[in-house]
Structure 1
């Protein structure tokens, strides 16, 4: 399990401020993702390959719900 105590969270530039607020933190060897409106809530961790794939799929709109 990742240790989040030293995490330096960065908010996504796409976050709206009211909802859809996502933050990421590099925690070698993983990248952690959390909901900025629930910082004590669950966190998702991805290895580098999974993070790159996830970010790419978001950028090309493959994961859009609408």
Structure 2
């Protein structure tokens, strides 16, 4: 299975997954406004995508 999933996808999952799991979002919503949690979700998704693309473009293909 390790050969069927590209490494940049795994990297994106490892960055985004712990930040936005269900329990963490639930706790964040109980302490912060909904707009903040939404912005955090979008920012984390965009930065995870950028990190995976940078890794894929500059590091993964160089190996």
Q: What's the TM-score, normalizing by structure 1?
A: 0.32
Of structures 1 and 2, the one with the larger relative CO (CA 8 A, separation 6+) is 2
Larger helix proportion of the pair? 2
Q: Whose Rg is larger?
A: 2
